[in-house]
Amino acid sequence: MSKLLEVRGLTKRFGGVTAVSDISYDVGAGEIVAVIGPNGAGKTTLFNMISCFLSPTNGEVYFKGNKLTGQKIPQLAHLGISRTFQNLQIFHNLTVLENVMMGAHVKLKTNVVNAAFRLPRILKDERIAYDLALDAIHLVGLEELMFEQAGQLSYGLQKQLEFARAIVYKPDLIMLDEPMAGLNDYETNRMADYIKKLKSEGSSFLFVEHKMATVMELADRIIVLDFGKKIAEGTPDEIQQNAKVIAAYLGEEVV
């Protein structure tokens, strides 16, 4: 399996506090990798460094063999990386369709002049964005709600909308920060189905999640953090049999 993402020695210190210490791992093409650990383990800090929202104190990240560390956030989409957040990042006053079309911008070539004067380029780009958005909306089953305002949707449907916007431009790596948080069992199973479907089409995922049953079902490999350090890495079966991990994190939730 070829390496898509390479994390090498990532460390982040805030004053005298080390939030993440010397973390290294890879994500292969077509692979689903989960990062788990209790609150305060450093998962979100690690995510933020990988996605360039936070600069590491030490260490580097490579994507498709090219250095990712130090890139500007808007450039990530052009490179083929998307990300969701714990707190939903949607436009409540726009429709479902408009929200998802906004996520397609990296596939478009419209500039300010074209947009201002409605030149042919903008019309072509709008059609491309519309078609891409329809595909993503269809995947998550929001066709009947595509003209509804996003702010009127239930929380679970808003999570589906954010997922649709993250996948609309068909990124190579999709980073999901607690995608199942706040979802009921039915919604969680649906979200898992979306991820499986995209994996079958070649997408790769890196995600943080607290629902252990979902992690064990979806992940090819699991990274376990504790106080900012990696204490284990392996397949779901290997993690379930790791006595240290079971005692510290999984307990009776894993069967």
CATH code where residue 66 lies: 3.40.50.300
d(CA 203, CA 4): 11
Rounding to the nearest 10 degrees, give the CA dihedral for residues 185, 186, 190, 195. 0
The mean pLDDT of 126-141, rounded to a whole number, is 90
Instruction: Name the domain boundary from 121, 147, 170.
Output: 170
pLDDT digits (tens, 9 = 90+) for 91-130: 999 999 999 998 887 666 554 434 444 555 566 767 888 8
Q: pTM, whole model, 2 decimals?
A: 0.88
CA atoms 46, 11, 19, 21: torsion sign: positive
Instruction: Name the domain boundary from 170, 198, 218.
Output: 170
pLDDT digits (tens, 9 = 90+) for 184-230: 999 999 999 999 999 999 999 999 998 989 999 999 999 999 889 99
Range of the domain at 177: 1-80+172-255
Terminal CA-to-CA distance of the chain, rounded, Å?
Answer: 29
Domain count, the chain: 2
Integer angstrom CA distances of residue 241 from 221, 236, 245:
14, 9, 8
Whether residues 117 and 163 share a domain: the answer is yes
